[in-house]
Amino acid sequence: MSRRVVRQSKFRHVFGQAAKADQAYEDIRVSKVTWDSSFCAVNPKFLAIIVEAGGGGAFIVLPLAKTGRVDKNHPLVTGHTAPVLDIDWCPHNDNIIASASDDTTIMVWQIPDYTPMRNITEPIITLEGHSKRVGILSWHPTARNVLLSAGGDNVIIIWNVGTGEVLLSLDDMHPDIIHSVCWNSNGSLLATTCKDKTLRVVDPRKGQVVANNFEEPVALQEMDTSNGVLLPFYDPDSSIIYLCGKGDSSIRYFEITNEAPFVHYLNTFSSKEPQRGMGFMPKRGLDVSKCEIARFYKLHERKCEPIIMTVPRKSDLFQDDLYPDTPGPEPALEADEWLSGQDADPVLISLRDGYVPPKHRELRVTKRNILDARPPSGPRRSQSASDAPLSQNTLETLLQEIKALREQVQAQEQRITALENMLCELVDGTD
């Protein structure tokens, strides 16, 4: 009698669990725009979600610790004149985020560590080069300030955000709309999918398609009959791929190995509510003391719910086999070095003592970079004028003016709140 041999894997028993209700982010008006992006981006400091906004596009940025009900007057990041379609945090600076919009522009924003009092309306830089909507953004994994964008004009543009210059433009490779773009681990190649049902591997610096004739898949896995778009998230440290169906209510995950049959089904996390989008936390933002190997941020219609993937272990000690060294926030190359043909693997860090994101991360560059510091607004004053002490009368006058302005702002806020409440009552009355 033959005995069935069970495949050995430390990830066989990975299970998903939704966070408690008080750890969710409530009362967020998630965008209803019809686009196949994840609508959510997360890093160890912030959670960003594309939201509904009148008069243009906007997204909200929340500190990770700010759970619970979100104030309806919480400041937004606004500036686009049409809906925001995609957002992506810079992997080398947790305070920098890029947004792409239906208005054909890409904007790069500096998010302060504190919660601002007003909407953030001024980007650090606006990148203009696409002729149609921009729906895909992806930062280079190892080179500083290198950002990829893909638009409805079937063009991929690679930017140096630090100078606002176009490094590369890939114009004639895709005959139809580009569905997704992904860098390899060191940023030397791109993989793209297109509406023409062709997967291409591209060398962007040579401007060549190096592979596109994939006749037979290594493994074929039939998912279901749903027509929702699948959002794949791959963790190279554990070789697990997570598939989240947009409009679905489940997350399926598989382990990838080097031996046939290559793809091994692990489990499915299911819940009652369908997901409108999904954010995926980088490895350095996980809680290693709880054997957490992945964390998702599931978007509902009016909230965002963390979902934690855990490997059950009895020991409270650091699990070396679950947490190999992982890419950290330090870039391995400058933009000019990458463009000249250099490649470098990501700079790895250990998670043994956990990862604490820095409060302020300076961007070290070889030449002036617009992300380092923004110029002061208003005319410059001479050194003698700026050093002159203020008289007591002048100081008192300034304080009185500030007090009067603050009272005026508070009165206007109360008036705006009252008008919003009246508008809500009118809308509810007409429904």
pLDDT at 181: 96
Rounded Cα distance between 382 and 85, Å, is 44
pLDDT at position 104? 94
DSSP 49-115: EEE--TTSEEEEEEETT--EEPPTT---EEEESS-EEEEEE-TT-TTEEEEEETTSEEEEEEPPSSP
Q: Which residues make Cβ contacts (< 8 Å) with residue 198, sequence separation at least 6?
A: 212
Residue 159 phi/psi, 5-degree rounding, is -110, 150
State pLDDT tens for residues 143-165.
Answer: 999 999 999 999 999 999 999 99
Token pair 């002061």 is at which residue?
Answer: 376
| Confidence at residue 4, expressed as pLDDT on a 0 to 100 scale | 53
Judge whether 78 and 56 are in contact, CB under 8 Å. Answer: yes
The predicted structure's pLDDT at residue 121: 93
Q: Which residues pair with 380 in a beta bridge?
A: none
* CA-angle at 216, arms to 211 and 9, nearest 5°: 100
Q: Is 393 helix (H, G, I), strand (E, B) or coil?
A: helix
398 vs 203: CA distance, rounded Å:
59
DSSP tag of 243:
E
Cα–Cα distance, 230 to 207 (Å, whole number): 28
pLDDT recorded at residue 369: 56
Residue 155's region, left for phi above 0, alpha for psi from -120 to 50, else beta, is beta
Asked whether the bond before 236 is cis by omega within 30 degrees of 0, the reply is no
- Cβ partners under 8 Å of residue 232, min gap 6: 241, 242, 243, 244
- The SS3 of residue 17 is strand
Residue 385: the pLDDT is 38
Amino acid of residue 337: E
* 156 contacts 146 by C-beta, under 8 angstroms: no
Give me the half-sphere count of Cα atoms (radius 13 Å) on the Cβ side of residue 423.
Answer: 6
Q: For residues 41 and 88, is the Cβ–Cβ distance under 8 A?
A: yes
Q: Taking a C-beta distance cutoff of 8 angstroms, is the pair 146, 167 a contact?
A: yes
Residue 143: name the closest of 173, 96, 183, 193 by CA: 183
Distances 210 to 169, 183, 311, 394 between C-alpha atoms, Å: 17, 14, 38, 69
* Structure-block tokens of residue 78: 């606004």
Residue 337 DSSP symbol: H
Task: Measure CA 26 to chain center.
Answer: 19
Please, which residues have CB within 8 angstroms of residue 6's CB and are 6 or more apart in sequence? none
Q: Give the pLDDT score at 387.
A: 43
Decide if 160 contacts 168 (C-beta within 8 A): no
Fill in the DSSP letter of residue 153. Answer: T
Q: In 126-246, which ranges are continuous DSSP H helix?
A: none
Q: If we measure between CA atoms, which residue out of 234, 237, 235, 271 comes closest to residue 251?
A: 271
How confident is the model at residue 259, as a pLDDT? Answer: 86
Structure tokens at 7: 């495949």
Q: Spell out the per-residue pLDDT of the chain, length 431, in tens.
A: 455 556 788 898 999 999 999 999 999 999 988 888 899 999 999 999 999 987 789 999 999 999 999 998 999 999 999 999 999 999 999 999 999 999 999 999 999 988 888 999 999 999 999 999 999 999 999 999 999 999 999 999 999 999 999 999 999 899 999 999 999 999 999 999 999 989 999 999 999 999 887 888 888 888 775 667 889 999 999 999 999 988 888 999 999 999 888 999 999 999 999 999 999 999 999 999 999 999 999 999 899 999 999 999 888 788 888 999 999 999 999 999 999 999 999 999 999 888 877 765 544 434 455 555 544 444 433 333 344 456 777 887 888 888 888 888 888 888 888 888 788 777 666 65
Q: How many residues does the chain have?
A: 431
Q: Among residues 251, 266, 219, which one has the least CA distance to residue 243?
A: 251
Tell me the per-residue pLDDT of 230-262, one tens digit each, with 9 for 90 and over.
Answer: 899 999 999 999 999 888 889 999 999 998 889
